[in-house]
Amino acid sequence: MNVEEACEEFLTCLYVERGCAQNTVESYRRDLARYKRFLSERGKESVGAVERLDVEAFVASFAELDYAASTAERALSAVRGMHSFMVEEGMEDKNPTLGVPMPQSPRKLPQVLSIEQARVLMEQPFACTPPAQRDRAILEVLYGCGLRVSELCGLDCAEVFLDEGLLRVLGKGSKERVVPVLGAAGIVMRAYMDTWRPLLQRGHSSTNAVFLNQRGGRLTRQAVHAICEKYGRMVGIERLHPHTLRHSFATHLVEGGADLRVVQELLGHANIATTQIYSHVDRTHIRWEYLSAHPRAHMK
């Protein structure tokens, strides 16, 4: 059967037998028309002549024309559906789409603060009140320790070891890890734990939570989101998300020369592949590292 007839048979089946919406059928029609033109240019007029390499080339053509991976994925779904239909109906013996992988969308880089933005955020004036100093500690710990917002909200006093400069964190899958709380984060955390947290808890029932609301209870994730947005907005950073501070923590570590395996451990990633997204160091940094490290970089 030629490709055009096969496409029409499949589209009719979608609309009449499977009851697909008209918009869905038209979307499939456009993708299959593109596929038919592509095969015709390769001299493939019959479905039986189509090979897996033809399908792979069709998928690759989207990338060559800078189409989004989602567009290629949708087109491949239509092509797979047509070839599967032909085999199921006994009109063809082989399905050339078997084993053809779906195109992968490039992983979106997370939003990251610059080092200067992080400095301005942390060094802005904070009122000398228990809530404001709690908020300061929250920002410092999110950026200085790379915690997830759920880990920060779940942190208990028994898991804070400021003399050793450590926090014990319960991460995803109830996996424990130990992260350092040093430098500015350690200083601000000690002031919060010694001075400001007792004031937030005063007159309320006892709780083990580190970060408290003004009623002495455990702070919620929604409250932490609001805190980040509030203080970000005050220094010109719109819609600052707690996870942005975690991303910034990891990115700035990598840019500063930290080993990716160490960053993986600090973030609590089970797989190094998850951590590799943070290796997107800026080009200026790469150039500086090259010039400072390569023995022949300065030869003219």
User: Is 246 marked active-site?
Assistant: yes
Among the options 44, 197, 246, 252, which is catalytic? 246
Instruction: Report DSSP state, residue 195.
Output: I
Among the options 83, 148, 197, 247, which is catalytic? 148
Residues 103 and 162: beta-carbon distance below 8 Å: no
Among the options 36, 134, 136, 269, which is catalytic? 269
User: Is 269 marked active-site?
Assistant: yes
User: Is 252 marked active-site?
Assistant: no
User: Is 192 marked active-site?
Assistant: no
Distance of CA 75 to the CA centre of its chain: 25
The crossing angle, in degrees rounded to 10, of helices 52-64 and 69-88 is 160
Phi, psi of 166 (to 5 degrees): -135, 150
Among the options 29, 190, 218, 243, which is catalytic? 243
| Two tokens, residue 161 | 């070891």
Residues 115 and 73: beta-carbon distance below 8 Å: no
Among the options 172, 204, 215, 233, which is catalytic? 172
Instruction: Report DSSP state, residue 237.
Output: -
Which has the closest alpha carbon to 260: 272, 243, 252? 272
Catalytic residues: 148, 172, 243, 246, 269, 278
